[in-house]
Amino acid sequence: MQTIKHMRSYIFFKFLAFKIKLKNQLHKSNTQLIIGQNVQIFPDLWLRLGENSILEIGNNTFIGKGCRIECSNNARLLIGNNVNLTGYDFLACMKAIEIGQDTLVGEFVSIRDSNHEYADLKIPIYSQGYVTKSISISSDVWIGRGCIILPGVTIGKHSVIGANSVINQNVDPFSVVGGIPAKLLKKIRE
Per-residue model confidence as pLDDT tens digits over 128-159? 999 999 999 999 999 999 999 999 999 999 99
C-alpha to C-alpha distance for 33 and 177, rounded to whole angstroms: 33
Per-residue model confidence as pLDDT tens digits over 10-57? 444 445 445 544 554 555 578 889 999 999 998 788 999 999 999 999
pTM recorded for the entire structure: 0.85
- Give 137's contacts (C-beta < 8 A, 6+ positions apart): 97, 98, 99, 100, 103, 111, 143, 149, 154, 155
Q: Can you give the pLDDT at residue 87? A: 95
Per-residue model confidence as pLDDT tens digits over 67-120? 999 999 999 999 999 999 999 999 999 999 999 999 999 999 999 999 999 999
Q: Can you give the pLDDT at residue 27? A: 52
